[in-house]
């Protein structure tokens, strides 16, 4: 559905995008993650034909967004990160106005407006002024607007930013519906966990460069090799047991770091790629250390993000 081909964008002499390549299959719900200034909005504005790249191009369903903007605009629905809403309009009028811009007939506009408001769970707000909506509702209204011309690809720039957990859950529901409708969605955020829970696949961008692209599971796997091991000793087993455990771990060359997280919880790191978990456990048990729990610490996605973007 989307193929980004060696895309670059310079603002003056500042390179905001440095040769981005990316492919997203039909029907994917793809997250676009990166810290502020990574180049997410720049990429999305180019895809929405609002800006020309410095070089490279992108194809939406085979259409070149740079050379054939007119056709591309029919295929792409774009929800910007900062959007204006006309406050003096009622919700239905707002959508009706945009539907007119797409030259949609009166009868069709009526049914479409209602259907879209339903989709974004604003049907009860039909006759309310846009002004009176909460931020989350305005975001959803804007999402409805981006769907008016029934685009195949939806580009949502930070739609969940500033949402409370409830609003985020609603957004997740809407995204699922969009997927059922067969849409392909590219959705950005600077918060990795937020996207990891909504998307099937992710691209991580940092300083205009791709640092990771693949499934959420692949990202976890990539990082889990480095995940620390948590070793819990029986609560209250005494200082001498903790000391014995630390002494034992220090003797093992593959153990690169030992942290005492809690009185009876040790967190260790192993040399990159060292597959010595069973050995660590065996040694501890042989020394009589009362191990009550032994597992890979779950990777905090925020940490994964910090680690993946560290070098770039």
Ligand X SMILES: Nc1ncnc2c1ncn2[C@@H]1O[C@H](COP(=O)(O)OP(=O)(O)O)[C@@H](O)[C@H]1O
Tell me whether residue 44 or residue 65 sits nearer to Mg ion (CB atom): 44
Binding window for ligand X (CB under 6 A); candidates: 39-47, 94-102, 260-268, 296-304: 39-47
Smaller CB distance to ligand X: residue 16 or 76? 16
Of 37 and 62, nearer to ligand X (C-beta) is 37
Among 24, 29, 31, 41, binds ligand X (CB under 6 A): 41
Give me the residue whose beta carbon is nearest to Mg ion. 41
Residue number, 186 or 244, with CB nearest to Mg ion? 186
Pick one of 24, 28, 39, 211: the residue that binds ligand X (CB under 6 A).
39
Q: Select from Mg ion, ligand X, none the partner in contact with residue 39, using the beta carbon and a kind-dependent cut-off of 5 to 8 Å.
A: ligand X
Distance CA 157, CA 153 (A): 13
Binders of Mg ion among residues 14 to 43 (CB under 5 A) are: 40-41
40 interacts with ligand X by CB under 6 A: yes
Cα distances from 14 to residues 188, 208, 296, in angstroms, run: 22, 10, 42
Q: Binding mask 183-222 vs Mg ion (x if CB under 5 A, - otherwise)?
A: ----------------------------------------
| Closer CB to Mg ion, 32 or 212, in the complex | 32
Task: Write down the least CB distance from residue 224 to Mg ion, Å.
Answer: 29
User: In angstroms, what is the minimal distance from the CB of 267 to Mg ion?
Assistant: 35
Per-residue x/- marks for ligand X, 9-38, CB under 6 A?
--x--x-x-----------------x-xxx
Closest contact distance (angstroms) between CB of 175 and ligand X is 20
Q: Which long-range contacts (CB under 8 A, 24 or more apart) does 163-169 make?
A: 163/135, 163/136, 163/139, 164/136, 167/136, 168/194
> What is the gyration radius of the CA atoms in the chain, in angstroms?
25
Footprint of ligand X (CB under 6 A): 11, 14, 16, 34, 36-42
Footprint of Mg ion (CB under 5 A): 40-41
């Amino acid at each position: 559905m989307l193929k980004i081909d060696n895309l670059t964008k310079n603002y003056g002499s500042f390179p905001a995008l440095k040769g981005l390549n990316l492919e997203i299959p039909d029907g994917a719900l793809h997250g676009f993650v990166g810290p502020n200034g990574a180049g997410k909005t720049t990429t999305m504005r180019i895809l929405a034909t609002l800006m020309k790249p410095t070089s490279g191009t992108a194809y939406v369903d085979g259409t070149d967004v740079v050379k054939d903007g007119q056709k591309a605009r029919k295929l792409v629905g774009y929800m910007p990160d900062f959007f204006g809403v006309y406050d003096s309009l009622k919700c239905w009028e707002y959508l009706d106005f945009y539907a007119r811009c797409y030259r949609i007939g009166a009868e069709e506009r009526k049914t479409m407006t209602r259907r879209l408001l339903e989709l974004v769970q604003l049907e009860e707000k039909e006759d309310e002024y846009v002004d009176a909506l909460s931020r989350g509702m305005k975001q959803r209204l804007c999402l409805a607007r981006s769907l008016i011309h029934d685009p195949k690809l939806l580009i949502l720039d930070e739609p969940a930013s500033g949402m409370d957990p409830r609003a985020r859950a609603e957004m997740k529901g809407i995204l699922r519906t969009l997927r059922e409708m067969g849409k392909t969605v590219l959705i950005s955020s600077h918060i990795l966990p937020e996207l990891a829970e909504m998307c099937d696949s992710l691209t991580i961008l940092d300083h205009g460069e791709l640092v990771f692209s693949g499934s959420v599971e692949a990202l976890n796997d990539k990082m889990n090799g480095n995940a620390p091991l948590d070793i819990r000793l029986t609560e209250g087993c005494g200082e001498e047991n903790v000391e014995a455990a630390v002494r034992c771990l220090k003797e093992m060359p593959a153990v690169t770091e030992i942290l005492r997280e809690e009185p009876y919880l040790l967190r260790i790191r192993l040399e990159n790629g060292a597959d010595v978990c069973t050995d660590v456990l065996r040694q501890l048990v042989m020394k009589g250390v009362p191990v009550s729990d032994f597992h890979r610490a779950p990777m905090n996605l925020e940490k994964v993000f910090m680690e993946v973007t560290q070098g770039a």
